[in-house]
Amino acid sequence: MVHFDTLAAQNGFSLGVITLDAPARLNAQSLPMVWAMQEQLDRWRDDPAVVAVLLRGAGERAFCAGGDIKALYHAMCDPLLIDEADAFFAHEYTLCMELRRYPKPVLAWGNGVVMGGGFGLFASSSHRVVTENSMLAMPEVAIGLFPDVGASLWLQSFADGAGRLMALSGIRINAADALAVGAADAALAASTWPMLLATLAELPWSGAGNGDALLLHGTLNALSSAQPCPLPSAQWPDVQDEVVALMAGNDLQAVSARLSAYAGSNAWLAEAAAQHRAGSPHSIALAWTMAECAATVSDVALLVLEIAAARHCLRHGDFREGVRAKLIDRDGLPHWRACTLQQAQADAQAMLAAARV
């Protein structure tokens, strides 16, 4: 479920507020929720009284944990429902692309879990705020999917190989890491949400998208300086140079071999290596190949490729088995399709080449 409200501001303007309200499943999105958000964002885009949008999750545990993976699993198991799974991914990906192009500032309040499709909403927003509770990840290689919702593009913008490491391992980062790698713009304590709303209501909004975006940026900087967030200790900066070395180059085989063989003392990087070794070879290969494609195609072309890749994963990949092992039977023992990483890479390239025809 998703709720829409408006917050009155100065000069007759208002801010649209979107609240993802499914706390029992960590605000994971369903197809009706995606549809509703897209329709409301379209209305607010055309409403001159609405100058900005705020996006948050209900409860204290999560901004959004992604899509409703269990529902997608049941759709994969039923030929009569598979089209609904196709529709979910197509509309979810389109929503994130439209957010990246939205002409008004969008502030995402990334408190708690920010994962998968939730990370897509967060990363696609113009102003990304984390709290001391934030935990961000793109864990798709663990369940046989691929880092989607435009992540093939925006993960590459993270500093010094951090995005590539996240894509190939699914490793989590905290709020301090998110600021360090460029995945977030500001940090505020979770308790400051009411103060943030009150501050935003008093701003001199103009109705000019670029001007209002700068106004919001300056306000967030001022608030984060005046009200320092109690951040956890950062994990990535301690191994920044190691990550750069591990992720270097354009050869997936070499990168995977280095990461898999990591035997250093850093627990966070060791966890990333273990998750990479346990991940689906087809997902790892698809993550890499999609990132290569994203560097050379338009936003719309990437959307088409993502939709094609998701359709393939729903029918032919490791996605169903990964979800079974992780969330349905919970045995933690996925039986990935037996093949080498080299063969998985060839399969991914062939599938995407066919999608481009």
State pTM to two decimals.
0.96
The CA-CA-CA angle for residues 57, 209, 215, to 5°, reads 75
Residue 281 has pLDDT above 60, yes or no: yes
Q: In the 8-state DSSP scheme, what is residue 161?
A: G
C-alpha 190/C-alpha 199 separation (Å) is 15
Confidence of residue 38 (pLDDT cuts 50, 70, 90): very high
pLDDT digits (tens, 9 = 90+) for 177-195: 999 999 999 999 999 999 9
Amino acid at 125: S
Q: How many CA atoms lie within 13 A of 181 on its CB side?
A: 35
Residue 357 has pLDDT above 60, yes or no: no
pLDDT digits (tens, 9 = 90+) for 116-135: 999 999 999 999 999 999 99
Contact 302, 153 (CB under 8 A): yes
Instruction: Give the chain's mean pLDDT.
Output: 95
**Strands of the sheet with 135-137, listed across from one edge:** 62-64, 113-115, 135-137, 173-174
Q: Tokens 């560097």 — which residue?
A: 295
Confidence of residue 339 (pLDDT cuts 50, 70, 90): confident
What does DSSP say about strands 186-187 and 127-130: parallel, antiparallel, or unpaired? parallel
Residue-level pLDDT at 171 = 98
Confidence of residue 170 (pLDDT cuts 50, 70, 90): very high
Domains of the chain: residue spans and CATH: 2-356 (3.90.226.10)
The CA-CA-CA angle for residues 263, 266, 272, to 5°, reads 75
The H-assigned helical ranges of the chain are: 31-45, 69-76, 82-100, 117-124, 151-154, 162-169, 175-181, 193-201, 209-226, 240-247, 252-260, 267-278, 281-294, 299-315, 319-323, 341-356
Q: The tokens of 27 are what?
A: 């605000």
Specify which residues 203 forms β-bridges with. Answer: none
Q: In the 8-state DSSP scheme, what is residue 324?
A: I
Q: What is the mean pLDDT of residues 62-85?
A: 92
Among residues 105, 112, 128, which one has the least CA distance to residue 57? 112
Q: Tokens 């169903």 — which residue?
A: 320
pLDDT digits (tens, 9 = 90+) for 136-168: 999 999 999 999 999 999 999 999 999 999 999
Q: What is the mean pLDDT of residues 29-39?
A: 96
Residue 336 has pLDDT above 90, yes or no: yes
Q: What is the mean pLDDT of residues 28-54?
A: 97
Residue-level pLDDT at 340 = 87
